[in-house]
């Protein structure tokens, strides 16, 4: 039996009061070991996602007033592959919300936005390809045994 999603997905710029919480969630998941990275710096980057008509985009999952997930569409996330653009980046779901469909809803929402913008594909890197394969992603390049580049073909 499918449980309805209890979180609302929206653009971060539609909930600007949540920018700092979204930045903290992303920073704490991916950037705590990166020298010079901070939640404040991430909040500044998220501020650039200010329009639904262009990349970058940031979607958040909200439950009441809490940010329970986030996902970004950015121009590039790998300097070695500038031709691969745009990128899904920073998908994170709060630990207590994992396994409830929030991550899937965020990915599918972001892909719908990319299609709306007329983008032919979206790239990303992951150490968890199974999750994305279930949503339709295909392998772009295996980097090593526990990391690969993947893509969603949108056309």
pLDDT tens column, 95-111: 999 999 999 999 999 99
pLDDT at position 1: 34
pLDDT at position 52: 96
pTM for this prediction: 0.94
Per cent of the chain over pLDDT 90 is: 92
Judge whether residue 65 has pLDDT over 90: no
119 φ, ψ (degrees, to nearest 5): -80, 135
pLDDT at position 155: 82
Distances (CA, A) of 88 to 55, 123, 151: 11, 6, 9
CATH class of 8-153: alpha beta
Q: Which residues pair with 29 in a beta bridge?
A: none
Mean pLDDT of 71-90: 95
């Amino acid at each position: 039996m499918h449980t309805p999603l209890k979180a609302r997905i929206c653009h971060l710029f539609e909930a600007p009061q949540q920018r700092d919480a979204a930045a903290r969630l992303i920073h704490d998941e991916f950037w705590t070991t990166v020298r010079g990275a901070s939640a404040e710096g991430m909040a500044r980057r998220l501020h650039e996602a200010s329009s639904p008509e262009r990349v970058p985009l940031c979607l958040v999952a909200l439950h009441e007033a809490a940010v329970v997930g986030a996902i970004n569409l950015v121009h590039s996330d790998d300097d070695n592959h500038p031709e691969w653009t745009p990128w899904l980046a920073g998908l994170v779901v709060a630990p207590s919300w994992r396994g409830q469909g929030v991550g899937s809803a965020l990915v599918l929402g972001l892909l719908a936005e990319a299609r709306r913008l007329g983008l032919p594909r979206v790239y990303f890197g992951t150490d968890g390809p199974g999750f994305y394969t279930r949503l339709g992603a295909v392998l772009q390049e295996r980097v090593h045994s526990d990391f690969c580049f993947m893509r969603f073909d949108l056309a």
